[in-house]
Structure formats: C-alpha cells, structure tokens
Structure 1
Amino acid sequence: MASLVDVLTTHASQQPDRIAYRYLVTGDCDGALQEITYARLARRSRAVAAWLQDRGLAGSRALLLYPSGLEFISGYLGCLSARVVAVPGVPPQGRAHNHRALTRMRRLIADAEPAVVLGGREVVAALDEMARDLPELSDLPRVVTEDIPDDAADGWRAPDLTADSVAFLQYTSGSTSAPKGVVVTHGNLLDNERVITERMGHTPDTIEEYGGELVLSWLPMYHDMGLIGPVLNTVHLGLTTTLFSPLHFLQRPERWLTAISRFRPHTSGGPNFAYELCLKHATPELVDSLDLSSWKVAFNGAEPVRAATLRRFTGTFAPAGFRREAFYPCYGLAEATVMVTGGSVDTSPVLLEPADAAAHTGAADAAAIGCGRPGPGVTLVVADPEQGVELPEGEVGEIWVSGASVAKGYWRNALATRQTFRATMAGHEGRFLRTGDLGFLRSGELFVTGRLKDLMVVDGRNHYPQDLELAAEMCHPALRPGCTAAFSVDAGVEGELPVLVAEVAPEAADEAEKITDLVRAAIGDAHGLAVHDVVLVHPGTIPKTSSGKIQRRACRAAYRDGTLSTVGAPATG
C-alpha cells in the first residue's frame, strides 16, 4: 500500500463496525465517551478531503488547529486523503491572545504559507478574535470541519499518492525565530509505523491476545510522539485505541493510571516528567485501586530518561502489578519521523551504574539508561561531529541515522536541509541525518548523553537558549546585550531546570533583586517557563569564544562549580 489512506480504506471495508478510537471527553473512565468506527472515520475523512478537493487545494498546506479529540484525526486524515499537506499546530487554549501565542502562530503561518485553517468550532471562534491582532490570519479561510456534511464524502476522489508524496509538516515544539518544518512523506510514515510495530511488539499474536486494544494515550496529537505513535499506529494496524486530553492528564495525573487499569492496554507512555507526576500523586488508596498488570510497554522518551524515576515508579506501583520489564526507554526525533531506537518487550531496561556510566558521561553521580536498539531498516552510527567518521563502540559522539524513516528535509530551507540531512560517512552508503544529539553505543544499545547544540528540554518541551537570553536582555537596560547565557541543569527527579546567567552594569548592583524578578517575569511571560535560578555577574565574566559567541557549556560548568563572578547574592527559585 502506498499510504495510510489505502490502509484506512481497507479497514473501513473489512471491519467497518470496529471502533477505531474511543475518546474520554473528561479524561475520566466513568465520564462521557466519544467513539468512531472505521467506516465512520473513513467517511468523515473523505468528507473533509472532498471539501478540500472541490476548492482546488490539492498540493497546498492546511493548518490544523484542534483541541485534542476525534475531530483532529478526521481533519488530519482528510488532508492526507486529499493530497493536501497537513500542518498540525498548537491550538489556542483559553484566552490565548498573549504575545507568545501570537508570535508562534505568526511564525508558523509565515513559514508554512497555508491556504486554509481547519479547526474545531471553539478554536475557529477564538481564531476569529485573534485575527484582529494577527493580519496573517485574517486573510486565511477558517473552516469548522464538524460543519462539513457527511454527504460531501460522496464526491471524494482517491488521490494519486506515492511514497514520495508529502504527507505533513511537523514543526518542532521549541520557540525560535526561524521555525523548521520537517517534511514527512507518506513513505516515511509507513516505514516508521513498521518500526514502531516491530520494536514495540505489536505482533499479530499480541493483537489477538489483547482483542485489538493495544494502545492508550493522553499525548498531544499535534506532536510527533502522540500522533505517529498512538494515533497513526492504530490506523496502520486496525486497532481500537483509547485517547484523552493532555490537559486532563496534567490536571489529574492519576487519570492515566486509572484508564490503564480500566482499559488494560499493552502500550502507553510519555516523557519522563509524566512518570514523575504520577509518583507525586501516588497515594496508597490509588495504588490499591489499580491493576497495571496488562501494561507491557511503558515507553519513556522525548526527554532524558532517569534511572531514579524508573526505580521509584517500579517500587511504588509494583503492588498494582507494574513490572520493571514494562519500562521501555526509547529514542527518536521528528527528523526521523519519530522512532529510531527502542528496547525489547518483556526485558528490563539496560542500566549502567554511576561508576560505569561516568567513563562515558563524565557525571559520577548518575546512572545511564539504554534507549534500545535501532528498528529494522534503521542504521545508527555514532560519529565524530567534526571529522564525520564513525567512532569505536563506547566513545561519545553525535548520533547519525539513515533509513526510509528519515524525513525529506526542512520545508523550504535548503541550507538547513543540506547541513542536517545530507551527511556522508566513509564506509557507509547513502546519506545520514545528523541528529545533534550525543551518545554512545555499547553492545548495540544506544545511550543518549546530551545535545551537541544547546537546545533545552523542560517538561517535554523544547526551548532555544537564544530566545530566553533575548527575553531577559530586553527586560532591563542594565543587562548587557549579547552577554547572557541560558542553559539547563540536571536536577535529578525534577528533570532539567532552566538557569539564566547575565552580565549586569556595576552601577545596577543595588537593583539586583528587582532585575532578577524582571528576568523571571519576562521569561515566564514569553516562554511559559519558571526559571530555576537567575545569577547576575560582573561585566566581561561570561565565557565566550574568540569570535564572541557565548560558551554556554563553560558557563554551566562555572555555575555548577560556584566560580561565577556574581553581583550581589544569586536568587534561587
């Protein structure tokens, strides 16, 4: 089959009455449910597709702005069914007329140049208000796909799709002045679904054992891990999957575990912080009420996997039937569609104790967790990032990946595509994706140790230090432009926490407390981040390269060592 459109057509024909998705409207198992069968899913997708086709939009982009729910899935598959390139975006939430939401929307529209916005009724109403402050949005047609009648599906024409046809653009979640849309083809999608299926043990026997109900997810559908994993693997295999909103999970993390206990999936997961949230809400009464024995793949990815989290989660929820072997660290990125490596089902994660890990990571107080092995057809090499040559096993270098899951490149960004997707290596055929992540291999197992660049991952979201530095520098005239360093520090079970170090004019020393408060407020408003620590230092003391670039790693090392030349007393959050 050439695409997931063909796969959906087959399921709608062979098992029309099977539930494809079950959505917990309130996040509670005993609350309202929405369900959609494969026949209905195909018809709703075709209705959206026919609407797009009738307006001559094949080949153009459609910006998808939906809350979590079934309508997003119909809209996304509708785009694929019309040969329209889907562009999932973060929908406005609540009163989203703030600077951060408008800036993000403006950058996305400018880069993707969508021809239409598809969304739910409440989102489109919010967009109508936002259009007053966002001229780029005011000229775009905005369509409530729920209002497209079912009968429109009768006019649908099957698109001419090939493996090289572009399916969607996945924009990275970090806030940056130059957003990059990863160009994912239909061939990339099908190949990565094959990788997910194999690595996570979604075999025909397992599907039969679980009655086709393998997956449960609260992950955002507009991000790669939530979309390509739970949502699209469902269509790929013809499963029934239970979904609910990430907002409902964040409000009450125990809903996730309660839903697993109720619907008994094989596979469910999230970033490391999600497991920590569950631990914070783990009362004896909750543990006593749960049965987690069906949970075979508790995947953990998108941010550093913590050995302490795995130990504590297993210890806390073992009385509820959770097994250490269920923990499933994995590694992936949007540029490789999503999944690159994963563990083995029913096998404990590979752990290097601190003394052993220190030889690779340089951190003497932290264990290292293996993120599994490459999926079938995926080639993973650890390379010297400067020389572009393969490093021996055990040496830390940049992770390079090749295979049919590696995306086409960045949307309309030839330079970044060439730098990231076109690497070559002696002794290996074809081209490699340079991930920008650092790691090493040991007996075929990948250990991820950090990032070649300074991207920060806080609570599962990407943040670029340059953006935080700019927000800080603009909040007070005493802060010296180009003399600010943002980085994250590892706070153990709390995950990565952001720190801001800024050079300040000597005459402003008496205002240190006020400046610190302004920095916190500026970064909180612009990026939704609570800064762990703000440190003001004397002019000329932040480490820089000979060409004047901030050396964030050196600044982080000085912060950890307590050798920064501070002005006044540093404020700790």
Structure 2
Amino acid sequence: MYLNDSHEFIPSVLERHAVRYDDVPMLHFLDDWGGVCSSLSYSRMHHEARRLALEYEKRNLRQKAVVIIGETTGDFVVAFLACLYSGAIAVPAAPPRRINSESFRRLQCILDSVSAELVIVGEQHKTLVSEVRNYTKANEFDIRTVKQLLNGSTGGFANRTCLKDAAFIQFSSGTTGDPKGVVISHGALLSNLEIIQKTFRLSSDSKLVGWLPMFHDMGLVGNLLSMLYVGGVSYMMSPNIFMQKPLLWLQSITQYKANTSGGPNFAYDLCVEKITDNEQEQLDLESWKTAFNGAEVVRPSTIQSFSDKFFKNGFDKKSFLPCYGMAEATLLVSGSHLDSIDISSAVQQCPNTQFKIHSSGPVCDGWIVKVVDPDHDIPLKDGDIGEIWISGESLFSDYWGISDKSHLRELASEKGKLFYRTGDYGKIENKQLFITGRKKEMIIIRGRNIFPHDIEGAVCELHSAFVKNGAAAVSVGNQCENLVIVQELERFEIKRLDFRDLENRIYSFVSSYFSIAPAFIGLVVKGKLPRTTSGKIKRIQLAKLLEDGSFSVLNKYSRRDLKLKAELGNAIVVPRDRKSLAKYIIDKMHQELKLPGGTLSVDTPLFQVGIDSSAAAGLTASFGKELGVSLEPTLLLEVETIEDLVIRLMGDTDIKIGV
C-alpha cells in the first residue's frame, strides 16, 4: 500500500465513526467479574480527544513527547488519541508499582530519555509518579490527570499531521537489554493498521475481547487502534485480572460473542492448565474466528493442546492465527489463519533437535522479508536459517535519541531499500515464516548454536509441577560457556517435591538430548523469572542476575556462587585417581539407592543391584553434574561393574574429569 498525505488519518477515521454511530457505546471496560463498568462511544472519544488536543496545543507540544502512564482505562485512550489529533508524540508507559521496583526504574529511564514536559497519569498513580520525578534528570515535567486538563478546556482542535510526523514512541520490552524508544510515524501506523485489518479479517462487525496492556504494542496497536480503525466493538479487561482468572477471558468471549482475541503462547497454556472441566462446561467459543498467537516463538504444542481441550466448546483449530511482529514494525509482519495455509507444512522439525516449531504464517502484503547471512549480508535460499531482515512502509522511523544506524542495512539485491536487522533468527519455507529465536539470546557453547526455546519447551514438560512456559535457558560466565537452566515450580507443589530428583531429571534430559551438561540448575517459585509486560522472559537480565549472585533459588545445590563457579569451570572438587573415584561412586550409589553399607564393591555385578533405566539415568545425571562431565543416561546399563565404570570414566580420552 502506498500512502500519501491525503490519506485519511486516525482523527478523520474517528470522526467518521462518531457520525455513523453517534453515542452508541463501542469501547467497553470490564470489571473484575467480567461485567461492563464503563464505556466510551466513538462520539465521546472524538470530542474529548479534540478538547484535550487543544490543551496540548496551548502547551506547544507539537512533535514533543507526552508520557501517558496508565492501565486499561478510558482516560488512557483519550490522552493517546489527543496526541494523534494535535501532532504531539504519545509515549505509553506502565505505571510504577513501588519505589525502586523494576517498573519504577523503567519509567525513570523513559522520562529521562524523552525529556517530557507533560506526564498524564491516573489519579491513583499521581503520588508514585511524583516520587519518580525526584529520581530523574528531567524533573521539571508537569503531572496532570485527564480530568484536570479537560476541566479547563473548551472547543476542539485537530492539527493536520504529515505521514512522516512521529505519532508515538513505543519503548521496547527490554528482553535483550535496556528498553529503546521505537519512533512510529503516522504513516507507519496507518500502513500497519491496513495490514492488520486484512490479515485479522477485521470489519465494523468485529467484536474483540482484549486483556493485553495498552502500553504494550500488541495491546495498543493490535487491540485498541485496530478496532478503532475499522469501527468495531471492543471489550477490554485488566491484564492482572486475566493472570489471576484466565477463565474470565474465555467467559468474556462467550458472553459478548467476540470473534477476535488473542495473546502469546502462555495465555493459551494458562487456560489449558487452569480451567477445570466444570468451569469449561459454561463456555461457548463458536463465535471466536480469529485467535491470534504472537509476541514469542509459536509452539505447536500450545495450538494443539488448546484446540483439543476447547474443541467441545465450539473452538475451531483453524481459527488460530499464528503471527510474528515487533515494535519496530509498528506491530505485524507475518500471519495467517490456519484455514488459509497448508497445516501439514506449518509444523516442522527444529534443526539439530527433536523438537518442532510452528509457522508464523506468510509474510503480509506491504513487507519485504529476507533471511540473511548476517556476517556477509547475503540473502539465503529458502529453508536456510539466518537473521530476519524486514523492509516496508510500517517500519519505524528511528530509535529515539540514538544516532547509531547499524540496525539498518542495504542489500545488493534490493537497491534503494533499507532493511531493519531484527536480531531474530528463522527461515522461509513453503512461503511461510518460521521463527527459531533471538540472536542475542542464542546459547553458543563449544561452537554449537542452540536457541533457548528448544531447551525451555522440553524442560517444562518433564514434571507436572513445572510451570508451563516457566523455564529459562541462558549462558553465563566469562566466555558465556556455561549453560544455566532455571525452572519455575507451582507453589502448591513445592512442599512435596524432591529438588535433587528434579535437578537430575533436567540434567539427565538436557545432557542426553542436547549433549550439553548444565553448569547450574535453579528451581524457583512461579512468578520469580523476570518477564516483560507481555509475559516474555528477560533472559539477558536473568543472566546478569545469576552472575552477580542476586537471583535466589530454592534448591541448595544451586545456591553456590555461580559467578565463582563460572570462573573456575563446571566441576567441583573431584577424585582424580581410580581408587578415590571408585570410592566416590560406591559411596554415592549406597546413598542414592539407599543400600545397606558394604553392599557394593568394585567388582559387584551391577545387575544384582536391580538398577532400572530410570535409576540409571538419575545416577548418571548425578555423577555427571558433580564430576563436571557430560554422560550418556544409559552409561550404567552399559557397564557390568563399578570397576568397568571407573575405567570408562578415567580411560576415555574424550572425558576429562574435573577439567
């Protein structure tokens, strides 16, 4: 789509809807029980946005930042729209939770970055935001509520904006470092809203239930603005309520006959895990025709398990719309309903592992996407994995306040076009885009490249107490050569769990399937892993917390100083001759198998002990972890005596114990 300055901008679109629908409520806000607690008509949105835009104009805020701090409320919507009307630059931000919390420091970073003159808050956040001001360099900004600003405003204002003018700044989620301000122009916004409308099959008949926060790109563009653009009806609930009551999401879809809704993998997994059979009986999901799944690598198991569980409630698997996007693309880059693609080719084996990845759909019209060898800036052929580069009208203008343009490149095959290096890795095959992971989060150990998602998706399935989407795999140490795995545990299961057994399960599995021995395994309560507002794990932040010793865990083994362990190597103090190694193995087997003292000697046939495959795998995992080597889980089943095992360990030139 080619845009020019005569194109209909958001204010004109909203005015048209205001004329058509007048005072009919179209944007609804749900309370903690799913009932409508307040609503806005297009007419009211339009008139209040115009009045507030006049206040922005009086403050001379054209192309200056207006920070809007809030949650899912009508005031947030009006404050944002007023920026689009007046030419001010909206900066959506999450409210701080408490002093010196992560959200407090993030807001501090945003305020310093954009040098805001006006900060709009909800009444309940005024005190804490005032406290943030004391910690910022730009501490002269004015703090106001929408009500305060509208009280002194009469008339209306709508300044004619240009496509190249900045519409808003979306600060990235910070999964791979400090958040950066992504500047989205009016042209990029309009272009992507057209793409979303076509891909999501939106129209004025669309009804959406949304729970993603409005300060997040998927909640702001994918939920709020996309529905305002087509003139649809929206029902918005708090993300906190969704996390506490995932059932309420599906109940709202049922109650309001919504045909559009979605979120990341974890949202669907949470429903599968938490909604009981009795609760499920009350659901009718037949109206749900667009179930978008994005914001992280799409997992085939998520799509299948949700479809299987809610099939009897009228949910059709073909309603799923796997998609891919990012703040730098305004939002959407690829996606399609499963009824429009060959499902048999949508799931493929992940290279070098037994695990599968799901297509994120074909590239949307309006985008040029290339998979590139990043070391040589050469496009790769279909099926090859490389870095994903994108170019199109929806691409962001710049990072706010950053002059470095290294994220933009040209390709010899595409003269005159600038491509954004996404930092994501993947491939294009059968005209579908497959995402394998983030370059910055890739684990590189002994020359092998492993995407965290591959390990995480498998680990969290190893035990019923493991939180789904609650595993994190990172590399730490001076050379990032140490694999660390942290797994969240369901709180109600913790008292009955044997942490050492869980460690051994993880260690044995990862060592076997990925041929890498984890240097460190941490078990934590659910909710402990650092995450973005959309639920993505902040792996780089986690690695830093682990290395500086500020990340506490439940299991005693993992309480060792990781930083020191990473510097010294994977191994603990271990026996270095055959006699001491044999004694160590005998003592360890007596302890782990709870055998009477004296049962074992170096020449005792191991089959007499009755070691099955499960016990063998557990013992081997324990040996490997404490000796600092990678061992096959079946090793104990391949030797006849402990003496044979000692010979294998000490005599195999490929195994260097304690090195």
Range class of TM-score, shorter chain: 0.7 to 0.9
The change in CA–CA distance for 1:306 and 1:246 in structure 2 (over 3 A counts) is: same
Q: Which residue of 2 aligns with 1:382?
A: 371
1:39 to 19, 39, 43: 43
Per mean C-alpha deviation after superposition, the further-off stretch among 121-130 and 258-267 is 121-130
Per mean C-alpha deviation after superposition, the further-off stretch among 111-120 and 446-455 is 446-455
- Cα shift at 1:2: 4.5
Matched, 1:539 2:567: yes
2:123 to 121, 136, 159: 121
Q: Which residue of 1 aligns with 2:148?
A: 147
The change in CA–CA distance for 1:500 and 1:341 in structure 2 (over 3 A counts) is: closer
The change in CA–CA distance for 1:496 and 1:451 in structure 2 (over 3 A counts) is: farther
- Cα shift at 1:422: 3.5
Q: Which residue of 1 aligns with 2:337?
A: 344
User: How many angstroms apart in 1 are the aligned matches of 2:199 and 2:301?
Assistant: 24
- Cα shift at 1:251: 1.0
Contact 2:116 2:138 (8 Å CA) reproduced? no
- Cα shift at 1:339: 0.2
2:16 to 10, 22, 27: 10
User: How many angstroms apart in 2 are the aligned matches of 1:81 and 1:38?
Assistant: 14
The change in CA–CA distance for 1:563 and 1:342 in structure 2 (over 3 A counts) is: farther
AA at the equivalent of 2:220: L
The change in CA–CA distance for 1:527 and 1:100 in structure 2 (over 3 A counts) is: farther
1:52 to 40, 52, 56: 56
The change in CA–CA distance for 1:518 and 1:297 in structure 2 (over 3 A counts) is: closer
Q: Secondary structure at the match of 1:148?
A: helix
Q: Map Cα deviations across residues 104-145 of structure 1 (whole Å, 9 max, x no partner).
A: 12211121111110111111232224445x244642210111
- Cα shift at 1:68: 1.6
Q: Which residue of 2 aligns with 1:299?
A: 292
Matched, 1:317 2:310: yes
- Cα shift at 1:102: 3.0
- Cα shift at 1:6: 2.0
User: How many angstroms apart in 1 are the aligned matches of 2:71 and 2:61?
Assistant: 23
Q: Secondary structure at the match of 1:423?
A: strand
Contact 1:188 1:337 (8 Å CA) reproduced? yes
Matched, 1:420 2:394: no
User: How many angstroms apart in 2 are the aligned matches of 1:90 and 1:224?
Assistant: 12
User: How many angstroms apart in 1 are the aligned matches of 2:292 and 2:29?
Assistant: 21
Q: How does 1:184-195 map to 2 (within 5 A)?
A: 184-195=184-195
Q: Which residue of 1 aligns with 2:417?
A: 430
Contact 2:68 2:91 (8 Å CA) reproduced? yes
User: How many angstroms apart in 2 are the aligned matches of 1:491 and 1:152?
Assistant: 53
The change in CA–CA distance for 1:531 and 1:74 in structure 2 (over 3 A counts) is: farther
- Cα shift at 1:370: 0.8
Gaps of 5+ in 2: 1-6, 445-450, 462-467, 479-499, 501-519, 533-541, 543-550, 571-619, 630-659
Q: Which residue of 1 aligns with 2:349?
A: 357
Q: Secondary structure at the match of 1:220?
A: coil
Q: How does 1:73-152 map to 2 (within 5 A)?
A: 73-93=77-97, 96-132=98-134, 134-136=135-137, 138-149=139-150, 152=153
Contact 2:206 2:260 (8 Å CA) reproduced? no
AA at the equivalent of 2:352: G
AA at the equivalent of 2:84: L
The change in CA–CA distance for 1:151 and 1:13 in structure 2 (over 3 A counts) is: farther
AA at the equivalent of 2:79: G
Q: Which residue of 1 aligns with 2:359?
A: 370
Q: How does 1:405-554 map to 2 (within 5 A)?
A: 405-415=394-404, 418-427=405-414, 429-454=416-441, 489-492=455-458, 494-495=468-469, 497-499=471-473, 534=558, 536=562, 537=565, 539-541=567-569
| TM-score for the superposition, normalised by structure 1 | 0.79
User: How many angstroms apart in 1 are the aligned matches of 2:117 and 2:236?
Assistant: 29
Q: How does 1:324-339 map to 2 (within 5 A)?
A: 324-339=317-332
Matched, 1:249 2:247: no
- Cα shift at 1:426: 2.0
Q: Secondary structure at the match of 2:378?
A: coil
Q: Which residue of 1 aligns with 2:216?
A: 223
Aligned residues: 495
The change in CA–CA distance for 1:265 and 1:229 in structure 2 (over 3 A counts) is: same
- Cα shift at 1:318: 0.6
AA at the equivalent of 1:539: E
User: How many angstroms apart in 2 are the aligned matches of 1:41 and 1:281?
Assistant: 37
Contact 1:61 1:114 (8 Å CA) reproduced? yes
Q: Secondary structure at the match of 1:265?
A: coil
- Cα shift at 1:46: 1.5
AA at the equivalent of 1:200: F
Q: Map Cα deviations across residues 68-116 of structure 1 (whole Å, 9 max, x no partner).
A: 21111111001111211011111123xx113423321221112111111
Contact 2:272 2:309 (8 Å CA) reproduced? yes
Structure with bigger RCO (C-alpha 8 Å, 6+ apart): 1
Q: Map Cα deviations across residues 425-455 of structure 1 (whole Å, 9 max, x no partner).
A: 4245511111111111111111111122228
Q: Which residue of 1 aligns with 2:232?
A: 239
Contact 2:456 2:472 (8 Å CA) reproduced? no
Contact 2:173 2:179 (8 Å CA) reproduced? no
- Cα shift at 1:325: 0.5
Q: Map Cα deviations across residues 512-562 of structure 1 (whole Å, 9 max, x no partner).
A: x9xx999989x95987978889574353538xxxxxxxxxxxxxxxxxx98
User: How many angstroms apart in 1 are the aligned matches of 2:434 and 2:412?
Assistant: 21
Give the fraction of aligned pairs with identical amino acids, expressed as a percent.
Answer: 28
Per mean C-alpha deviation after superposition, the further-off stretch among 119-128 and 75-84 is 119-128
Q: Secondary structure at the match of 1:64?
A: strand
The change in CA–CA distance for 1:352 and 1:368 in structure 2 (over 3 A counts) is: farther
User: How many angstroms apart in 2 are the aligned matches of 1:564 and 1:274?
Assistant: 38
Q: Which residue of 2 aligns with 1:397?
A: 386
The change in CA–CA distance for 1:368 and 1:503 in structure 2 (over 3 A counts) is: closer
Contact 1:287 1:319 (8 Å CA) reproduced? no
User: How many angstroms apart in 2 are the aligned matches of 1:346 and 1:150?
Assistant: 50
Q: Which residue of 2 aligns with 1:201?
A: 201
The change in CA–CA distance for 1:525 and 1:351 in structure 2 (over 3 A counts) is: closer
Q: Map Cα deviations across residues 138-180 of structure 1 (whole Å, 9 max, x no partner).
A: 42210111233367250x3321201101001111111677431
RMSD: 3.4
